[in-house]
């Protein structure tokens, strides 16, 4: 199975404001996206891929002159791969508020003489992202998606598509996701946000205008996030209690254990490319997502509009961020509506990050499900 090869991001400008759930609106904006494969004549083979916290529209393939920068789901998407670009037209789109090209906090704010939005970028929700994605599908002439797929926060967007635009999507594939965040999930997000906001280089969110970057806060946020993406067992298997050197240095300030070295390295990398305001916005979008709340705290009632959609829900046994119980809540709400749903709980050791990895059972399942979708397409 080959990679899709060299890809090129595209962008689309939207001149009309996007109304947001908060009551505010986003003035004219740009979305960056990539496509792989070919849209068929019936325009019926499009699959939209929604990204999670730390990812972008760059889902598969690599950019010219940068073979290392393969897309974040390149193991899943490409010719002959489970999501086969010989059969499907795949779209990756960067959400507004992000820091990878679509309009976000680092973009010029037309309401402030073109200075960067910074902390003035409006709060965006999963529903707002789905609305923005729907406008893009409209522009691309895609009346109905064959499927929308995502993991974690991306899985929430996939669910929201069926609640807002049920007739414009056939299949929803929601992986390692949840119907809302638990108090503990929100609490972890809040620790990360406080680390960023209380970094003196944050300047109330207008650090760009001060020529500063709240790297300390971003590093702490990333270290913490990373812990919640991995299982306790996989961290033990990979790092255990191994010291960085043969003998302990007995220091509170220096690196002593290998796990510390790994986390600091991840944190340093992250703080070089990720925008702090985007981190705040995306964790807030996670916090706010709660479709049951709009339906009298009844998740089954929330899914009434999705009665004609078909669902694949996938969870991983060692995911303690969004454990299988949370996916089963979604499955129950679907079953209560007699909605067509397949559910798989994959026994995998890697924790939440498993949705990004190439596990044979997991990818076999997705391959089979996409073959089912492909069978519905015109020959």
Spell out, one character per residue from 12 to 31, where the chain touches a second copy: x when CB under 8 A holds, - when not.
---------xxxx-------
302 contacts 163 by C-beta, under 8 angstroms? yes
- Give the DSSP H/E element, type plus range, for residue 311: strand 310-316
177 contacts 126 by C-beta, under 8 angstroms? no
352 noted as active-site residue: yes
Please report whether residue 240 would count as binding a second copy according to CB under 8 A.
Answer: yes
Single out the residue of 55, 145, 159, 195 in contact with a second copy (rule: CB under 8 A).
195
Q: Which one, 21 or 363, has the nearer CB to a second copy?
A: 21
Please report whether residue 290 would count as binding a second copy according to CB under 8 A.
Answer: yes
Residue 326 three-state SS: helix
Number of C-beta neighbours around residue 225 at 10 A: 22
141 backbone φψ class: left, alpha, beta (φ>0; ψ -120 to 50): left
42 contacts 67 by C-beta, under 8 angstroms? no
The distance of closest approach from Cβ of residue 115 to a second copy in the complex, given in angstroms and rounded to an integer, is: 18
Catalytic residue among 131, 319, 353, 359: 319
Spell out, one character per residue from 115 to 144, where the chain touches a second copy: x when CB under 8 A holds, - when not.
----x--xx---------------------
353 contacts 230 by C-beta, under 8 angstroms? yes
Catalytic residue among 62, 271, 352, 353: 352
Distance of CA 335 to the CA centre of its chain: 25
Residue 169: CB partners within 8 Å, gap ≥ 6? 48, 144, 145, 147, 148, 161, 162, 309
- In this chain, which stretch among 53-61, 80-88, 152-160, 233-241 interacts with a second copy, using CB under 8 A? 233-241
Going by C-alpha positions, the residue among 153, 94, 165 that lies closest to residue 126 is 153
Binding residues vs a second copy (CB under 8 A):
21-24, 119, 122-123, 180-184, 186-188, 190-191, 193-195, 197-200, 204-205, 216, 219-220, 223-224, 227, 230, 232, 235-236, 238-241, 248, 250-253, 256-257, 259-260, 263-264, 267, 277, 280-281, 284, 287-288, 290, 293, 320
Task: Name the residues annotated as catalytic.
Answer: 152, 319, 352
């Amino acid at each position: 199975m080959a990679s899709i090869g060299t890809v090129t991001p595209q962008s689309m400008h939207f001149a009309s404001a996007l109304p947001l759930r908060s009551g505010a609106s986003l003035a004219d904006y740009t979305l960056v996206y990539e496509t792989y494969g070919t849209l068929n004549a019936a325009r019926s083979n499009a699959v939209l891929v929604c990204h999670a916290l730390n990812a972008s529209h760059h889902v598969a393939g690599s950019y010219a002159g940068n073979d290392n920068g393969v897309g974040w789901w390149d193991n899943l998407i490409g010719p002959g791969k489970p999501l086969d670009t010989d059969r499907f037209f795949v779209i990756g789109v960067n959400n507004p508020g992000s820091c990878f090209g679509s309009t976000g906090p680092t973009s010029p704010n037309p309401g402030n003489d073109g200075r960067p939005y910074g902390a003035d970028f409006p709060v965006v929700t999963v529903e707002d992202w789905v609305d923005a994605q729907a406008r893009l599908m409209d522009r691309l002439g895609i009346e109905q998606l064959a499927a929308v797929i995502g993991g974690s926060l991306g899985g929430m967007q996939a669910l929201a598509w069926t609640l807002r635009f049920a007739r414009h999507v056939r299949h929803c594939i929601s992986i390692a996701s949840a119907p809302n965040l638990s108090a503990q999930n929100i609490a972890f997000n809040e620790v990360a946000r406080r680390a960023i906001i209380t970094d003196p280089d944050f300047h109330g969110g207008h650090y760009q205008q001060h020529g500063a970057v709240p790297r300390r806060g971003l590093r702490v946020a990333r270290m913490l996030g990373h812990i919640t993406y991995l299982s306790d067992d996989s961290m033990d298997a990979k790092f255990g209690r191994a010291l960085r050197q043969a003998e302990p240095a007995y220091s509170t300030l220096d690196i002593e254990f290998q796990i510390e070295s790994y986390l600091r390295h991840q944190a340093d990398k992250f703080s070089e490319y990720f925008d702090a305001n985007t981190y705040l916005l995306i964790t807030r979008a996670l916090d706010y997502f709660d479709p049951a709340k709009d339906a009298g705290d009844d998740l089954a009632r929330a899914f009434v509009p999705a009665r004609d959609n078909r669902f694949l829900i996938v969870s991983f046994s060692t995911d303690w961020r969004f454990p299988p119980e949370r996916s089963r809540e979604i499955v129950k709400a679907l079953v209560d509506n007699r909605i067509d749903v397949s559910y798989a709980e994959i026994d995998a050791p890697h924790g939440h990050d498993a949705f990004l990895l190439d596990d044979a059972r997991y990818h076999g399942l997705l391959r089979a499900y996409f073959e089912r979708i492909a069978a519905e397409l015109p020959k």
